[in-house]
Structure 1
Amino acid sequence: MKVSPEFRKQLQGYGLTTAEILYRMPDHPALLQSYIWQDYDLFPEFPTLRKFLDFWARTLDGPLFKVTVGHNRLIKPADLKAIGAEFRIH
């Protein structure tokens, strides 16, 4: 049985990273367009995303406006701990 490259990356510490990239339309700079990027990357440096954004800035005409990053270490459920007491809020 062969192991997938994505699973190997997870074993090396990579986590699924999603970035929403807002960029200006080349012909209409007042308009913003959205692009969703997703790959396995290392938190918190995000070298794969940075490489992609460098490529974008060098090669593509649409200038970057805003990048919002989601990663499993940035977004996770809250930690709950039992404290042995009860609080009532009306």
Structure 2
Amino acid sequence: MKFLHLTIVLTISLIASACASTGVISLGENLYYIGKKDGSPGLGISLENKAEVYKEANAFCESKGLKLEIVEETVVAAAPARLGSTEIEFKCI
């Protein structure tokens, strides 16, 4: 019973941490990266996860009085035993 409880707690912890954004990471002069795993079950692309990444990047640029410009987008669809994710490289112009 203890093993089952520990397994459940670890699984929930992994799923919760998988949902966390990387936050905005500087890649150099006015080039940034942000990524987020989608912790929700299912198959395909999570539009909610994708929207959250874009909102966070947009808020970062707006805090500088600038607008978001996407340089590159990578979206991985969820599949059995694999979480989906959204990653973007962007500039604030």
TM-score bracket relative to the smaller structure: 0.3 to 0.5
Report which of the two structures shows the higher radius of gyration computed on alpha carbons.
Answer: 1
TM-score by length of 2: 0.37
TM-score by length of 1: 0.38
Higher helix share: 2
